[in-house]
């Protein structure tokens, strides 16, 4: 989804500004999925991966990519993103030049904080959230755009560490996801470099019994911590199947692959995950209807 954003770092001043232009910063353009649940979440994960070395993140994403990014978010099977070049630079971004991006994420290296601003028409650059990182990179919030339903923590459900094959078996045991002549298939599962588990899902559509469309997405669905709670993962997937089956609009491989409740919330029960997913439906489908 092409929601452009910007990755930036403050160059002077201090404090938490309430508007994107109230404190000087420098940054680069990022074309792909600049939303808080896309690029915003990825930047949080970058800081964690670098064990709190925010300067390294700034160097990798801004200093070493001065022309900006098409996409810095590595897929599970890749190790490098897609950069713009001097011959094909991304648009310029600056505190007074945010008209071509929808979100701006600015690192404060001294305060160990990342501020998020919405520059959508109507929001006009207001700050929508901030996250502070510990010296080792642990954020004080699991996401920048938490919904009220996600603010829940339920008792642990420990078990034997979930393997890629066990995850595939769980997926294959879910009710069929279909609507009319469209179907969702769980194609494959694998372990990522950070020990998370990823899923390849495919939406197949037929017209008059002839194949008319195929969409595939890689879904980094299960963080390493959740692998130690296989029942939690199962409850989440069962809730997902339940909610998708209720609304044919959700038979969308892209929407399914954007769901990240195992990272964003401390929920562990099926009913809790169902409430969270329905809240995301209300937000995501409602926003799409307004656009």
Per-10-residue mean pLDDT of the chain, 291 residues long, equals: 90 97 98 91 94 98 97 60 91 96 98 96 89 96 92 96 98 94 95 93 90 90 96 98 94 91 96 97 68 48
Domain shared by 141 and 229, yes or no: no
> How crowded is residue 98: how many other Cβ atoms within 10 Å of its Cβ?
24
Structure confidence at residue 75 (pLDDT) = 52
Tokens of 254: 């892209």
Last residue of a domain, one of 145, 176, 208: 145
Domain shared by 131 and 168, yes or no: no
Q: Give the phi and the psi of residue 8 in degrees, each rounded to 5.
A: -145, 170
d(CA 126, CA 131): 15
Domain assignment present for residue 152? The answer is no
Domain shared by 137 and 22, yes or no: yes
Domain assignment present for residue 150? The answer is no
Domain shared by 188 and 282, yes or no: yes
- Beta-carbon contacts of 209 under 8 Å, excluding residues fewer than 6 positions away, are none
Element (H, E) at 227: helix 224-227
Structure confidence at residue 74 (pLDDT) = 65
Structure confidence at residue 79 (pLDDT) = 40
Domain shared by 92 and 126, yes or no: yes
Structure confidence at residue 284 (pLDDT) = 79
User: Is this prediction's pTM over 0.85?
Assistant: no
Structure confidence at residue 76 (pLDDT) = 41
Domain assignment of residue 64, given as a range? 5-145
């Amino acid at each position: 989804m092409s929601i452009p954003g910007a990755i930036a770092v403050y160059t002077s001043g201090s404090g938490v500004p309430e508007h994107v232009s109230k404190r000087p910063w420098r940054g680069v353009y990022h074309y792909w999925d600049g939303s808080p649940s896309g690029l915003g979440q990825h930047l949080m994960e970058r800081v964690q991966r670098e064990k709190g070395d925010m300067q390294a993140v700034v160097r990798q994403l801004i200093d070493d990519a001065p022309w900006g990014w098409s996409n810095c978010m590595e897929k599970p099977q890749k190790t490098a993103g897609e950069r713009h070049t001097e011959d094909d630079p991304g648009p310029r971004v600056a505190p007074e030049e945010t008209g071509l991006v929808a979100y701006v994420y600015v690192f404060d290296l001294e305060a160990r904080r990342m501020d998020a601003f919405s520059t959508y028409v109507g929001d006009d650059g207001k700050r929508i959230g901030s996250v502070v990182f510990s010296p080792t990179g642990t954020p004080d919030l699991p996401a920048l755009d938490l919904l009220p339903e996600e603010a829940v923590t339920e008792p642990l459900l420990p078990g034997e560490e979930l393997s890629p094959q066990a995850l595939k078996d769980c997926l294959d045991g879910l009710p069929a996801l279909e609507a009319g002549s469209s179907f969702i298939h769980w194609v494959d599962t694998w372990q990522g470099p950070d020990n998370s588990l990823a899923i390849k899902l495919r939406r197949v559509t037929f017209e008059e019994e002839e194949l008319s469309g195929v969409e595939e997405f890689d879904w980094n669905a299960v963080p390493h911590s959740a692998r130690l709670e296989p029942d939690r993962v199962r409850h989440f997937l069962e809730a997902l199947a339940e909610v998708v089956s209720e609304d044919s609009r959700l038979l969308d491989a892209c929407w399914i692959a954007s769901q990240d409740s195992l990272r964003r919330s401390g929920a562990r029960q099926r009913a809790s995950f169902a409430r969270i997913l329905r809240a995301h439906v209300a937000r995501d489908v409602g926003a799409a209807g307004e656009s």
